[in-house]
Amino acid sequence: MRVALIDYGAGNLRSASRALAAAGVDPIIVSQPAGLAATDTIVVPGVGAFAPAMRRLAAAGLVDAIQSAAQRGVPLVGICLGMQLLFDRSEEGEPVPGLSLLPGIVRRLPESVKVPHMGWNTLEPRGASPLFAGLPLRPFAYFVHSYIVRPADPACVAAETEYGTRFASIVHSGRIWGLQFHPEKSSAVGARLLRNLLAQIAGERRVAPRGTI
């Protein structure tokens, strides 16, 4: 599987690359649209703020390239900020359009909790999915974020997490996935989720039964 890891100056490329390698793929770092021409899967990592990230993607010509690839049916995975960029817009900073691959907006976490949300928290799957094979019923993952997505279509929420409010910690619609947490920081749970996700993208179903990591 040829996995393109997008480099737009806002991603934790080194740790994301190591996590993907541990999951069984050797990602190719891509910073130009031409690098997406023959890819099997696109991964958009990210840390930082929504508007500067979108400006950097646009400056590199990657917005149109990512959108075109998604329209062709190329699987796309957004991680942390990369998940938020999949949506229409964010309340963070100046108003800048997102990738608009999934309808919805990005909102700040409520003032009733400490922001950023940093540390371990549970994923609560909404329904059965091969993505959660081999995992405990409510696995722990590692989060670092101040904003959350509010999808227009609740059916795309694959897992939720509670922190001042319930929010979408995993989204999935068609061939698009988003992970609000950092799988590369989430130990065995993050590694298993990435392996399951890549297996699902590849059309494989040979994953462990639930209940073990």
Mind telling me the catalytic residues?
A: 80, 182, 184
Residue whose structure tokens are 């922001």: 115
With left for phi above 0 and alpha for psi between -120 and 50, is residue 200 left, alpha or beta? Answer: alpha
Of residues 17, 95, 13, 22, the one with CA closest to residue 54: 95
DSSP one-letter string for 6-63: E-SSSS-HHHHHHHHHHTT---EEE-SGGGGTT-SEEEE---S-HHHHHHHHHHTTHH
Burial class (CB in 10 A: 0-12, 13-18, 19+), 14: exposed
Q: Cα separation of 140 and 120, whole Å? A: 6
Specify whether the CB–CB gap between 199 and 192 falls below 8 A.
Answer: no
Of residues 107, 99, 114, 113, the one with CA closest to residue 46: 99
Specify whether the CB–CB gap between 147 and 92 falls below 8 A.
Answer: yes
